[in-house]
C-alpha cells in the first residue's frame, strides 16, 4: 500500500504540472534563467529547442471556456486551435519567448497566424515540413527546415547550437521516450493497473517539462511499477485511437474505464503516438532528426501525412493483435479534418477484421458524458456477449 501511495503521489505531482504548463515554465525560467519556447504539435522535434538551452513546451489545450479568442478564430475550428488562440488573447502566453511549428494543418496555421496577430511582439516561426512523404523533394526540404530552425532558435537564445548539443538532447529525449514505452509495455502485458488518466499525465508532463527532470522522476516510477506489479480490474480490453494534437478530457477516459474496461493501448497523440519513435543514431544530428520525421510516420502512421506505403488501419489492427485489445474507441476531435477524412478507412478495416468499435466526437466545450456512457456500455456489452454465449455453450 505504501508503494501504491508513493506512485499515486508522484503521478499527482506530475498531473499538476501537466494541468498548468505555464506555471511550471515560469518556475523553470526563474530557476534556470533560460528561454521558454512554445512548440506546436505534432511533428516538432523538441531536441532542437533543448539543444539551444531553452525549455520546449508542447502547447496544450486549456480547460477554460473560449472567450476573447472567438473574435480571432471561427467557432468551427477544433478545440485545440480555438483554445490556443484564446490563451493568446487572454494573456496566458506571456511567459513564452517564442512559438515554433513545423506542421501544415490548415486549422493550426490559421490559429498560429491569429496568435501572431494578437501578440505581434512574440517571435512566431513556421518551418513547414512538407507532408508528402513519398516524393524525393521532401527529405532535403525537411533537412533545410531543421537547419533553419537551428539557426533561428540559436538567434533567439543567443547561442550557436552545436552538433554535440543536439546529440546530447537526442540522447536525453530517447531515454525519456524509452522509459515511457516501458510503461506502455507493462500496461499491455497487464502488469500494472495504470488508468488512462494517469497514463495521459505521464505523457503530457513529458511534453511540457524539462526532459532530464522528467526522466529522473520516471526512472523512479518505472522501478516502482516493476517492483510492485498490479493486475488491472477491468474485464474488457480496449484500444483508444486517434485524438490528434491535444489530450482527450480525463473525465471521458474515466467514464470509459468505469464501464468495466481496461484501456490496454492507444495511438492518441498524447499517448503512444508521441513516444513511439526514437531519433536514430548518426553522426549528423540534422539528418537524424530528418529521419525521425519519416520514421514516426512509418511506426505509427498518421493521416496528417500523405504516404502511400503505410496505413494507419494496418497499424491499428496489428497493434490490437499485440495488446489483445478486444475493441476500439475512436476519439475524433470535432472539426479535425485529417481524422474525419481517414475514419472510413479505419472503419472498413475494423469491419473486415470483425473488431467492434465506437466513434466518439469530442469538443472543447463539454461532453455529454451520460449519453456517451450508454454508448460505451453498449460497445462493452457487445464484446462481452459472444464470450458469455461461448462460455454457456461450453458449460
Q: Which residues contact another protein by CB under 8 A?
A: 71-74, 76-77, 104-107, 109-110, 113-114, 116-117, 125-126, 128, 130-132, 134-138, 141, 152, 303-304, 306-308, 332, 334-335, 337-338, 340-345, 347-348, 351, 361
Distances (CA, A) of 232 to 196, 250, 320: 12, 18, 18
Phi, psi of 231 (to 5 degrees): -95, 130
Closer by beta carbon to another protein, 98 or else 248: 98
C-alpha angle with apex 62: 59 to 66, nearest 5 degrees?
A: 120
Smallest separation (angstroms) from another protein to the CB of 319: 19
Whether the CB-CB separation of 286 and 146 falls below 8 Å is answered with yes
The values of phi and psi at residue 37, to 5°, are -115, 120
Q: CA Rg, the chain, in Å?
A: 21
CB of 387 to another protein, least distance (A): 27
Q: Which residues contact 241 (CB under 8 A, 6 or more apart)?
A: 266, 267, 268, 316, 328, 329, 330, 331, 346
Q: How far is the CB of 109 from another protein (least distance, A)?
A: 6
Rounded CA-CA distance 25/36 in Å is 7
CB of residue 344 to another protein, shortest distance in Å? 3
Q: Minimum distance from CB of 170 to another protein (Å)?
A: 25
Nearer to another protein, 7 or 346 (CB): 346
Cβ proximity to another protein, 292 vs 342, nearer residue: 342
Contact criterion met (CB below 8 Å) for 36 and 100: no
Total count of residues recorded for the chain: 395
Question: Would you say 95 or 98 has its CB closer to another protein?
Answer: 98
Q: What is the smallest separation between the CB atom of 187 and another protein, expressed in angstroms?
A: 30
Whose Cβ is closer to another protein: residue 200's or residue 304's?
Answer: 304
Report the residue number, 20 or 345, with the smaller CB distance to another protein: 345
Q: What is the rounded CA–CA span in Å between residue 213 and residue 310?
A: 35
Amino acid at each position: 500500500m505504501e508503494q501504491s501511495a508513493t506512485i499515486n503521489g508522484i503521478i499527482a505531482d506530475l498531473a499538476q504540472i501537466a494541468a498548468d504548463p505555464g506555471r511550471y515554465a515560469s518556475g523553470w525560467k526563474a530557476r534556470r534563467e533560460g528561454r521558454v519556447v512554445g512548440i506546436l504539435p505534432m511533428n516538432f522535434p523538441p531536441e532542437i529547442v533543448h539543444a539551444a538551452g531553452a525549455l520546449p513546451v508542447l502547447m496544450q489545450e486549456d480547460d477554460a471556456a473560449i472567450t476573447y479568442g472567438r473574435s480571432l478564430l471561427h467557432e468551427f475550428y477544433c478545440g485545440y486551435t480555438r483554445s490556443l488562440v484564446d490563451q493568446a488573447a487572454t494573456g496566458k502566453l506571456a511567459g513564452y519567448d517564442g512559438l515554433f511549428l513545423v506542421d501544415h494543418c490548415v486549422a493550426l496555421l490559421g490559429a498560429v497566424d491569429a496568435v501572431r496577430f494578437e501578440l505581434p511582439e512574440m517571435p512566431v516561426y513556421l518551418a513547414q515540413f512538407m507532408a508528402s512523404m513519398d516524393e524525393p523533394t521532401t527529405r532535403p526540404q525537411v533537412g533545410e527546415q531543421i537547419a533553419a530552425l537551428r539557426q533561428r532558435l540559436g538567434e533567439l537564445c543567443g547561442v550557436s547550437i552545436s552538433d554535440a548539443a543536439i546529440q546530447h538532447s537526442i540522447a536525453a529525449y530517447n531515454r525519456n521516450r524509452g522509459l515511457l514505452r516501458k510503461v506502455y509495455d507493462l500496461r499491455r502485458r497487464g502488469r500494472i493497473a495504470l488508468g488512462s488518466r494517469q497514463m495521459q499525465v505521464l505523457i503530457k508532463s513529458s511534453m511540457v517539462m524539462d526532459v532530464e527532470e522528467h526522466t529522473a522522476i520516471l526512472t523512479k516510477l518505472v522501478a516502482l511499477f516493476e517492483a510492485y506489479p498490479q493486475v488491472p480490474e477491468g474485464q474488457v480490453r480496449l484500444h483508444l485511437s486517434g485524438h490528434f494534437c491535444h489530450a482527450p478530457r480525463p473525465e471521458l477516459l474515466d467514464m470509459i474505464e468505469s464501464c468495466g474496461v481496461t484501456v490496454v493501448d492507444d495511438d492518441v497523440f498524447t499517448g503512444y503516438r508521441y513516444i513511439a519513435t526514437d531519433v536514430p543514431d548518426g553522426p549528423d544530428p540534422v539528418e537524424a532528426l530528418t529521419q525521425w520525421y519519416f520514421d514516426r510516420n512509418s511506426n505509427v502512421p498518421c493521416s496528417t501525412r500523405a504516404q502511400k506505403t503505410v496505413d494507419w488501419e494496418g497499424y491499428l489492427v496489428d497493434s490490437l493483435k499485440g495488446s489483445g485489445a478486444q475493441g476500439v474507441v475512436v476519439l475524433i476531435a470535432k472539426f479535425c479534418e485529417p481524422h474525419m477524412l481517414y475514419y472510413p478507412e479505419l472503419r472498413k478495416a475494423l469491419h473486415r477484421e470483425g473488431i467492434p468499435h465506437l466513434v466518439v466526437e469530442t469538443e472543447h466545450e463539454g461532453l455529454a458524458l451520460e449519453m456517451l456512457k450508454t454508448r460505451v456500455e453498449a460497445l462493452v456489452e457487445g464484446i462481452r456477449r459472444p464470450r458469455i454465449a461461448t462460455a454457456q455453450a461450453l458449460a
